[in-house]
């Protein structure tokens, strides 16, 4: 039976989710949505939904309390920073924030509905097989670490009852060796789709903090969406200026270099990575590259096109290039790509002018369902 509170709880969550969905586009472009990110949930701060009342503004009235201290001893902040201290100023109900846990699945669903993203058709058939270990059944032998305590004690209790050793007033149950029961497992073979996302970012001097913020926000949403589509998702991060290297996620978003830009270095590294670890037969591969498009030389651009044509595009499901407009303007690279890959469906280009264009760009990248 679903208890009443669960229904009310679900109703409450629906209302909150409705609010998030309503404002999803704002959340995306402001990039503030992401609170704590856990393994399965993301905590999203939402303005508390409350019922308005006739009441006093709190800082006005003060109160009574107890403890040590002289007159004038400060006790803590009295004003909500958001309200700015002016009784009348804030007309938004932003008082207390509520944190709501939303699973990535739900978030992706919202994103999908909001941006009308099609589901992705994984390439290849289900020929990739993965072993899955499930624990089921109880066995008489097994390792200590898999002792099934409840069953063990049940056996011991049974034995003691039969033997007449059980005293209800002093219920001490001690299992002996033959009482022990162990969990058993079975390996199941399941078809599985794997996906790899390679994020590449230009960290040369011309990419400022704002541009990186855009990349950060966009990659969060891309991650969320692809994660909902593939069970097994790997991500790799590559940064480059004149040379490229693999980094972890933190470094990816924080590093700022000042060198020139050789995009080919990143593409080469990406290609090596795929060849070494992720065979295209088994993996759905999604390289994303973000840059301001100011490549060092047209020579290098030629090399890039070469690598794309012969290696990266054939190996990938999609190759996405997002050109972020920086304060130095937008570079030539996107135009070069456009000219050279007029017919190529697997290459997607998108210009991201500001935070507001993130939504359109996500749509560009993921709107094809590949």
Partner 1 sequence: MIYGTVLTPELQKLKGEIEAHAHGYGLDFFETIFEMIDYKQINEIASYGGFPTRYPHWRFGMDYDRLSKSYQFGLHKIYEMVINNDPCYAYLLNSNSMMDHKLVMAHVFAHCDFFKCNMHFFGSNRKMMDEMANHATKIRNYMDKHGIGVVEDFIDICLSIENLIDYYAINQEDAYKPIKSDEEGSKNKVYKIKSKQYMDKYINPEDFLKQQKERLDKKKEKSKKTPPEPVKDVLYFLQEQAPLETWQKDVLSIIREESYYFSPQGQTKIMNEGWASYWHSKIMTQKALRDSEVIDFADHHSGTVYMRPGSLNPYKLGLELFRDIEERWDKGQFGKDWDECDDYRVKKNWDKKLGVGKEKIFEVRRLYNDVTFIDTFLTPEFAEGFKLFTFDANKRTGQWEISSREFQKIKDKLLFSLTNFGQPFISVEDSNYKNRSELLLLHRYEGFDLKISEARRTMEGVYKIWKRPINVRTIIQGEKKILTYDGKEHTEENYD
Pairing of strands 232-240, 244-247: antiparallel
Nearer to partner 1, 56 or 140 (CB): 56
Nearer to partner 1, 90 or 280 (CB): 90
Which residues form the interface with partner 1 (CB under 8 A)?
3-5, 7-13, 15, 49, 51-79, 85, 87-88, 90-93, 100
Q: How far is the CB of 54 from partner 1 (least distance, A)?
A: 5
Q: How far is the CB of 22 from partner 1 (least distance, A)?
A: 15
Q: How far is the CB of 61 from partner 1 (least distance, A)?
A: 5
One-character DSSP codes across 231-272: SEEEEEEEEESSSEEEE-HHHHHH----S---HHHHHHHHHH
- Retrieve residue 321's tokens: 């290039």
Matching residue, tokens 């692809």: 226
Nearer to partner 1, 73 or 125 (CB): 73
Nearer to partner 1, 15 or 130 (CB): 15
Q: How far is the CB of 100 from partner 1 (least distance, A)?
A: 8
- Retrieve residue 258's tokens: 């000042």
**191 φ, ψ to 5°?**
-70, 145
Q: How far is the CB of 150 from partner 1 (least distance, A)?
A: 18
Using alpha carbons only, give the angle 120, 27, 368 rounded to the nearest 5 degrees: 20
Pairing of strands 194-202, 283-291: parallel
Q: How far is the CB of 1 from partner 1 (least distance, A)?
A: 12
C-beta separation of 49 from 97 below 8 A? no
Q: How far is the CB of 143 from partner 1 (least distance, A)?
A: 31
Nearer to partner 1, 15 or 176 (CB): 15
Q: How far apart are CA 34 and CA 31, in angstroms?
A: 7
Nearer to partner 1, 88 or 187 (CB): 88
Q: How far apart are CA 107 and CA 267, in angstroms?
A: 31
Q: How far apart are CA 119 and CA 228, in angstroms?
A: 9
Nearer to partner 1, 90 or 367 (CB): 90
DSSP secondary structure code for residue 147 in this structure: B
| Residue 113, number of CB atoms within 10 A of its CB | 11
């Amino acid at each position: 039976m679903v208890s009443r509170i669960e229904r009310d709880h679900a109703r409450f969550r629906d209302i909150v989710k409705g609010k998030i969905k309503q404002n999803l586009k704002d959340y995306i472009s402001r990039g503030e949505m992401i609170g704590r990110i856990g393994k399965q949930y993301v905590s999203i701060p939402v303005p508390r939904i409350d019922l308005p009342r006739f009441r006093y503004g709190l800082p006005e009235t003060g109160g009574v309390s107890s403890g040590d201290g002289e007159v004038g001893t400060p006790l803590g902040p009295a004003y909500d920073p958001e309200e700015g201290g002016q009784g009348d100023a804030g007309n938004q109900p932003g008082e207390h924030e509520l944190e709501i846990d939303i699973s990535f699945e739900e978030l992706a669903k919202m994103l999908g509905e909001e941006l009308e993203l099609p589901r992705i058709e994984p390439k290849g058939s289900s020929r990739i097989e993965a072993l899955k270990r499930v624990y089921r059944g109880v066995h008489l032998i097994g390792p200590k670490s898999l002792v099934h305590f409840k069953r063990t004690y049940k056996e011991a209790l049974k034995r003691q009852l039969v033997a007449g050793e059980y005293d209800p007033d002093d219920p001490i149950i001690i299992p002996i060796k033959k009482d022990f029961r162990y969990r058993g497992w079975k390996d199941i073979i399941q078809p599985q789709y794997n996906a790899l996302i390679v994020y590449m970012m230009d960290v040369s001097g011309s990419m400022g903090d704002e541009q990186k913020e855009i990349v950060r926000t966009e990659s969060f949403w891309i991650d969320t969406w692809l994660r909902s589509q593939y069970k097994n998702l790997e991500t790799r991060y590559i940064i480059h200026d004149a040379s490229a290297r693999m980094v972890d996620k933190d470094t990816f978003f924080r590093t700022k270099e000042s060198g020139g830009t050789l995009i080919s270095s990143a593409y080469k590294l990406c290609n090596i990575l795929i060849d070494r670890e992720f065979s295209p037969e088994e993996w759905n591969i999604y390289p994303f590259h973000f840059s301001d498009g100011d490549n060092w030389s047209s020579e290098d651009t030629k090399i890039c096109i070469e690598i794309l044509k012969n290696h990266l595009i054939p190996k990938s499901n999609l190759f996405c290039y997002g050109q972020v407009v920086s304060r130095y303007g937008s570079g030539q690279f996107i135009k070069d790509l456009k000219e050279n890959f007029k017919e190529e469906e697997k290459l997607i280009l998108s210009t991201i002018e500001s935070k507001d264009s993130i939504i359109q760009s996500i749509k560009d990248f993921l709107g094809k369902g590949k």
